[in-house]
Amino acid sequence: MFEVRIHGRGGQGAVIASKILAVALFAEGKYVQAFPKFGVERRGAPVEAFLRFDEEKIYLRNEITSPDIVVVLDASLGAVIDITSGLKKNNTILINTSKDPSEIAGLSDFRVACVDASRIAVEYGLGSKSAPIVNTAICGAFAKATGCVTLDSVKNAVMEEIQIKPENNVKACEDAFCSVVVP
């Protein structure tokens, strides 16, 4: 079983990202679970979303505390919370940042992948410059950085789940898939 924890801020699309990935993985024959955890429900507040997937039925129904993969929609969250909490050594952290993985301090025990999902979201008119909605871009980057799901399945899930600017969201997904920096 693979377990994914997604860290974001309210309004960035962390919960929808977990749902898109769940739909894509389900389409590929996996058993899936996707669920959120909210603290203060307001725009900009830290949010967590979780995703589990496996080849077999999943009976667990608890929060993910030891993820195999961590996805960070806002790099500034690292100053507020421990994004690596419970993450197994040498496992993947996918971060929305314009930095190269070699420039990210303090994460040498992990495989760090980076994508400038904010730039991509702004380029395709997803959200605003000050508050880009990065979920579909991060899903495309997830497909490339982890190899757990195909880009085609993610794009199909985006078309199925996203009602506003679906074509732009698919383009953002493709752009992020092509531009994610994976060590």
Check: CB of residue 122 under 8 Å from CB of residue 144: no
The CATH number for 106's domain is: 3.40.920.10
Place of tokens 């995703």: 51
pLDDT tens digits, 152-180: 999 999 999 999 999 999 999 999 999 99
What total number of domains does the chain contain? 1
- What pLDDT shows up at residue 41? 60
* pTM: predicted TM-score of the whole model, two decimal places: 0.94
CB atoms within 10 A of CB 47: 25
For the sheet containing 31-38, what is the strand order? 31-38, 46-54, 2-9, 69-72, 92-96, 111-115
Domain enclosing residue 25, as ranges: 2-179
* Cα distances (angstroms) measured from residue 97 to each of 5, 10, 25, 26, 137: 17, 18, 25, 28, 12
Least confident of 27-31, 79-83, 167-171: 79-83
Check: CB of residue 153 under 8 Å from CB of residue 27: yes
- Structural tokens at position 5: 């924890």
Check: CB of residue 52 under 8 Å from CB of residue 21: no
- What pLDDT shows up at residue 133? 95
